[in-house]
Chain A
Amino acid sequence: MNELAMMGQYIGAGLAAIGCGAAGIGVGHIAGNFLSGALRNPSAAAGQMANLFVGIAFAEALGIFAFLIALLLMFAV
């Protein structure tokens, strides 16, 4: 039973790590769209850096949550 629970823990941690990749997609989406917009109108790009970082932070937070779940499963349960 104990080994089964441990197996579940590790499988769960691996599944939670998918969330980190998903956050990567989100962050890449934001950065890519920012870059394509910035190349169209470079003069407006500097003023939007704050929005870029806020957007990246929001997208990345969910990946960090997924990572946290993985860590909790690995070391805290």
Chain B
Amino acid sequence: METEAEGNGFAIHPMDQFVVRPLFSDGPVHWYTVTNVTLWLALAVLCVAALMIFGTRRRALVPTRSQSVAELAYGMVRNMVEEVTGPEGVKYFPYVMTLFLFILFANLLGLIPASFTTTSHVAVTATLALLVFFSVTIIGFVRKGPGFLKMFWVEAAPLPVRPVLAVIELISYFVRPVSHSIRLAGNLMAGHAVIKVFAGFATMAVLSPVAIGAVTLIYGLETLVAVVQAYVFTILTCVYLRDAVADNHH
């Protein structure tokens, strides 16, 4: 990476911020090594726990600030699960809520300058997406038995088209975890790389006012993206859960 950075002429290499480094040593990274990813994942978990613990400790009738934030998040995700997945899906609301808050805080912590964006790594988001994929598949088979496979047999379509549609539906079902994870990781990585590209222009005296303005604007956009992508990941989880939970009427 170092030699490449010199070769490309970047003052700040845009991809340098995504390098996984061990926290306490310079040795190689094993699966048990404590790295910057571990640190920021743990911080995200701590933030979620702090919000929910401090938000619900008093349970006042007139909510404090932290309580109203916690209530707002709870109500939003709860409404989303009820609307998108249906009343049957409320059983899985805790899982969806956990996903939403974890991704939201991981995204927002990544916006702190010099921090590490854990959700920009496909390894992190793929774990989350595969968990969703496997839980949806298992829940579907447990609730409906072999009837879950009817999802691939589109009864609204004319009979000769159905086998073709079944193949397409099957492929799209297995592509879900890929697009689900790469959407989140790609969005975060793209935004942070663009910020660093403009930050690199700031070293050139002529361009620096433009660069600083651009970084400020994109930072605002990235804050929006961080929230929207957490929302999108959660709502897609709800959409996928609907296949496993809802009746086959639609």
Q: Do A and B come from one complex?
A: yes
Q: Which residues of A contact B (CB under 8 A)?
A: 50, 53-54, 56-57, 60-61, 64-65, 67-68, 71, 75
User: Contacts of A60 on B, CB cut-off 8 Å?
Assistant: 183, 187
Q: Nearest Cβ in chain B — how far from A77, in angstroms? A: 12
Q: Would you give 20 A-B contacts (Cβ < 8 Å), ordered by A? A: A50-B83, A50-B84, A50-B235, A53-B228, A53-B232, A54-B236, A54-B239, A57-B232, A57-B236, A61-B179, A61-B182, A61-B186, A64-B182, A64-B186, A64-B187, A65-B182, A67-B190, A68-B182, A71-B189, A75-B15
In the assembled complex, the Cα of A29 lies from the Cα of B179 at a distance in Å of 21
Chain B residue nearest to A64 (CB atoms) is B186
Contact B235 A53 (CB under 8 A): yes
Grouping DSSP codes into helix (H, G, I), strand (E, B) and loop, the B interface class, with mixed when no group exceeds half, is helix
Contact with A along B221-232 (1 / 0, CB 8 A): 000000010011
A75–chain B nearest beta-carbon distance, Å: 5
Closest CB pairs A-B (n = 9): A64-B186, A57-B232, A61-B183, A61-B179, A67-B190, A68-B186, A75-B15, A53-B232, A50-B235
Instruction: Report how far A75 CA is from B1 CA in the complex, Å.
Output: 9
List B56-106 residues whose CB lies under 8 Å from chain A: 80, 83-84
Residue in chain A with minimal CB distance to B188: A64
B193 at the interface (CB under 8 A from A): yes
**Nearest neighbor of A65 in chain B, beta-carbon distance:** B182
Q: CA–CA, A65 to B15, complex, Å?
A: 17
| Minimum C-beta distance from A20 to chain B (A) | 9
